[in-house]
Copies of this chain bind each other. A is one copy, B any other.
Amino acid sequence: MPGQVTLSDVAREAGVSLATASRALNGSANRTVGEELRKRVHVAASRLRYSPDGIAQAMARGRTTTLGLVVHDIADPYFSAVAAGVAAAATAGGLSVTLAVTGDDPRREAEVVHQMERQRARAVVLAGGRSGDPEADEALRAAIASFRGIGGAVAVVGRDGLGVDTVVVPNRDGAADLARALHGRGYRRFAVLAGPEQHAAAAERAAGFTSALDALGATVPAPLVLHSPFTRDGGHEAMSRLLAGEGRDVDLVFAVGDVMAVGALTAAREAGVSVPEDLGLAGFDDIPALRDVTPGLTTVRLPLDQIGAEATRLVLQAGEEPVLAPVASEVVLRESTPGR
């Protein structure tokens, strides 16, 4: 029954002291262990099938090698792409990733951060838009402060005002670029599927889009704005609502996320409205798994995996002052907006 095998067993087997065994297998600071003994210890360890107890190591060292990753929904391709970047960077940095999903409940965020604190995680990466619930937001702040109090590092992606390392997603500028590009293709009467009102990233995208349009002058009427959940179904619902109501004369719909956009696409199809012939459609994120929809979706590309990797890098370097790391976005024009 291996696994019950402790370092003491190895030491005894090798005929050395516990301390020497520890040093031989781990060689931390004073890594000077005689070649002779060193070999004996290693042989003994593998003969006994010794597996170091990470918990005990963490305890003795006073620190873990755990990075906490907090997402709303790991099944959402946005988060899973970011998670992939985090996982890769964490592995490269010798950290293991503890995944925490918060679902829809904004209070869960503070909860899981506290949980990470109890686990004594080295760092936490918070992906996901702001909750909008001020109470939950305050609780999150407190949880973060507490976590930093024990020496934990925190980075967030696409969400500001938390006073920690932040990967800044160009929601506003990206949406503005998109608006100008679409205007350049001749679209004039816009609608925005803006997601939930409190969702910060969604709001920034909607605002960036709208104000860029506004800056283009009087030829462009203010866009219709519809709110709905930031999900596939939310996009479907909002598009249905649009087409059933005052959306008749709209010539382009901007959904603030690709996931919403594909829902909207299906809703349009179900309503007998053809994209792109009758209506242009654009999204945001350029989710890899969605690149094969038809028609190809015009969108704003975000380097999702790089964002995750960058957040991880931030959290590993973790200086005193919070740093803002901007990422670039790029408008990708595809068949869903051929122009008119």
Chain A interface residues toward B at CB < 8 A: 1-4, 49, 51-56, 58-59, 64, 66, 69, 73-77, 80-81, 83-84, 87-88, 91, 96-101, 114-115, 117-120, 146, 149-151, 232, 259, 262-263, 265-266, 269, 287-290, 292-294, 305
Contacts and interface: CB of A to CB of B under 8 A. Distances in A.
A50 to B, nearest CB: 11
Contacts of A100: 87, 96-97
Copies in the complex: 2
B98 A99 contact: yes
Contact of A51 (B98, B118, B151): B118
Contacts of A115: 96
Contacts of A58: 55
A24 to B, nearest CB: 17
A54 B119 contact: yes
Contacts of A53: 118, 120
Contact of A150 (B51, B64, B289, B294): B51
13 contacts: A2-B149, A54-B118, A54-B119, A55-B59, A74-B84, A75-B80, A77-B77, A96-B100, A97-B98, A97-B99, A97-B100, A289-B289, A292-B293
A100 B83 CA distance: 11
A176 to B, nearest CB: 27
Contact of A77 (B2, B66, B80): B80
A3 B265 contact: no
Contact of A80 (B49, B74, B97): B74
A316 B69 CA distance: 23
A120 B55 contact: yes
Given A53-B120, A98-B99, A83 B75 contact: yes
A146 B290 CA distance: 41
B265 A49 contact: no
Top-8 shortest CB links A-B: A3-B150, A80-B80, A75-B84, A262-B292, A294-B294, A54-B118, A99-B99, A54-B119
Nearest to A87: B101
Contacts of A151: 3
Contact of A120 (B54, B81, B87, B120): B54
B101 A149 contact: no
A1 B51 CA distance: 35
A153 B151 CA distance: 33
Contacts of A83: 74-75, 80, 99
A296 B336 CA distance: 17
A263 B288 CA distance: 11
A73 B84 contact: yes
A91 B88 CA distance: 24
Given A55-B55, A87-B101, A120-B55, A263 B292 contact: yes
Contacts of A80: 74-77, 80, 83
Nearest to A296: B266
A61 B294 CA distance: 55
Given A150-B4, A294-B269, A64 B55 contact: yes
A117 B55 contact: no
Given A51-B117, A263-B292, A289-B289, 5 more contacts: A74-B74, A74-B87, A76-B80, A293-B293, A294-B294
